[in-house]
Amino acid sequence: MRSDSYNFTHPFLRKIESFEQDSICLIAQSQSHTYGELLDSTRNALNLLNDIKASSVIGIIGDYDLKTLAFFLACVEKGFIITPLSASLAPKDSIFSPMLQSYIKEGQIDYLFYNNTLHSTHSTDKKHSIIASLQANHTSGLILFSSGSTGKPKAIVHNLNTLLQGFLEKKPKRINILLFLMFDHIGGLNTLFNVLSLGACGITLKNRKDMQEIAKSIQDYKIALLPASPSLLHLFLLSNPTQLYDLSSLRLITYGTEKMSDSLLAKLKNAFPKVRFHQTFGASEIGITQTTTKENFIRLDNMEYKIVNNELFIKSHTNALGYLNSDNSVFDDKGYFATGDLVEVKNINGEEYIKIIGRAKEVINVGGEKVIPQEVEGVLLQIPFISDCVVYGESNAITGQSVSVKVVLDSEKIEVVKFKSHTNSNLTLKKYIRTFCKDKLAPFKIPSKVSIVESLEVSERFKRIKI
């Protein structure tokens, strides 16, 4: 299809069309692609959708590559309901894994796009009322799956046009941004939409868990913006990237998805003194909200919220329409979404700011007393030879639960105490921790079990795995 043979009608595509078409929009696998190439590929992708029933639900398996992004934009243009899925779900020899089949069923997916080909799933199920409403209004939709850390993944439905509306007024800015967060993640999509609405350039990674590759990409492509999670930033810091690479191009690091500890933020600011740190806030159910950051506290801008029993509830114009496969009790009768985040409130210059202090579902119940793991972690990280830790609850026959911790020791600083050479290092460490915490935490908050590990596990979305 000729580059000038189709005129886009969707406002988001029209905005992309307004940029200099020779400008680089994507660098993937060391290959550069221009905005002109992206739009030409999008026009070609429209041909795959010619015979598809309007408003069908289409799953897209892939990552930030030209073909995947072009097909995504083609679906936006045609008003389809899109379900981004991780590249790890790609069928092997055309065989759908049980997990992929589950996503197809729960998301009521009609077609799957992978390997630049569209495949029918032969879905015949009657559509959920939320999907039916989008179809009736000829409105593009977005279905995101939760991580499933506490059960089966929830299928969360958004009005995609509403989400994209917030990007239409952004002023063009040539800036290189790392596309780090996953393609099937609200944070990753938010980064992608920012890149495309700014006329900026997104840079992809072959291996998101390779800290050296991240640092080298920042150096080679003069990346100015790094969106990341606190867990990723901690691993990044431990790799001593500034010793091997020139990271002077970095201007802004945004972080979210989990709590940032004060101690980690202080270390990051010390390592990157010229970089501005900005905390974002969002969830698959509400999108990414506008925030103002001060002292590891955030002000939630342009939205309604309330705090009930220390839990944050948010009502935003970008709230999800609901779940396909779960009840919607997390949305109250006035449209507030129960985030599950526990917060601390602080008044700064006459304005209310909040600080995420933990997750409600992670609270440990010790004989009726509530323990927020992140509070305990903050104290433990004050111990010089503990480089990282994760606190979690374990079953206890007497108290219901008890506090446990996995710690990563600093190999250099630990020599001061000589734990590693001690035959009862765990016992010695436990005694030291209890003594250190005695005047800083209530007795029931002090860990009763201490495990020394080489490193902490993180999920593919770079959140720490508790157990």
CATH at 82: 3.40.50.980
Q: Look up residue 10 and give its amino acid.
A: H
Of 145, 165, 185, which residue is a domain's last?
A: 165
pLDDT at 260: 86
Residue type, 125: D
Residue 143 lies in a domain: yes
Last residue of a domain, one of 144, 165, 186: 165
Residue 159 belongs to a domain:
yes
Of the candidates 130, 165, 200, which is a domain's last residue?
165
Domain-located, residue 231: no
Measured between alpha carbons, how far is residue 166 from residues 170, 174, 240 in Å? 8, 19, 37
| Structural domain that includes position 72 | 11-165
Decide if 357 contacts 343 (C-beta within 8 A): yes
Amino acid at site 254: T
- Residue 322 near residue 133 (C-beta atoms within 8 A): no
* pLDDT value of position 4: 57
Residues 6+ apart with CB under 8 A from 204: 26, 27, 28, 29, 63, 64, 65, 179
Its pTM stands at: 0.89
Task: Quote the CA–CA distance of 198 and 168 in Å, as a whole number.
Answer: 9
Please provide the size of the chain in residues.
467
Residue 407 exposure: Cα atoms within 13 Å on the Cβ side = 30
Instruction: Please check whether residue 117 lies inside any domain of the structure.
Output: yes
- Among 169, 194, 159, which Cα is nearest to 64's? 194
Considering the domain boundaries, does residue 203 fall inside one? no
Predicted local confidence at residue 337, as pLDDT: 95
Q: Which of 142, 82, 86, 159 is nearest to 118 (CA)?
A: 82
The answer to whether residue 392 is domain-embedded is: yes
CA distance 42 to 70: 4
Q: Tell me whether residue 232 is in a domain.
A: no
pLDDT, block means (10 residues), the chain with 467 residues:
72 97 95 97 95 93 96 97 94 85 94 93 85 93 83 91 95 96 92 97 93 96 95 90 94 89 90 95 90 92 92 93 93 93 93 92 94 93 90 94 92 61 62 90 94 84 74
β-pairing, 337-348 with 364-366? unpaired
- CA-nearest of 272, 277, 204 to 240 is 272
Report how far residue 226's alpha carbon sits from residue 374's, in angstroms, rounded to the nearest whole number: 24
- pLDDT recorded at residue 3: 47
Could you give the number of structural domains in the chain? 2
- pLDDT value, residue 221: 97
Write the CB contacts of 30 (distance below 8 Å, at least 6 apart in sequence).
none
Q: Which amino acid type is present at position 51?
A: D
Separation between Cα atoms, residue 215 and residue 374, nearest integer Å: 28
pLDDT at 122: 81
Residues 408/411/412/417 CA torsion (nearest 10 deg):
80
CA angle, 458 as apex, 383 and 89 as ends, to 5°? Answer: 175
Asked, for residue 416, whether it belongs to a domain, the answer is: yes
pLDDT at 148: 64
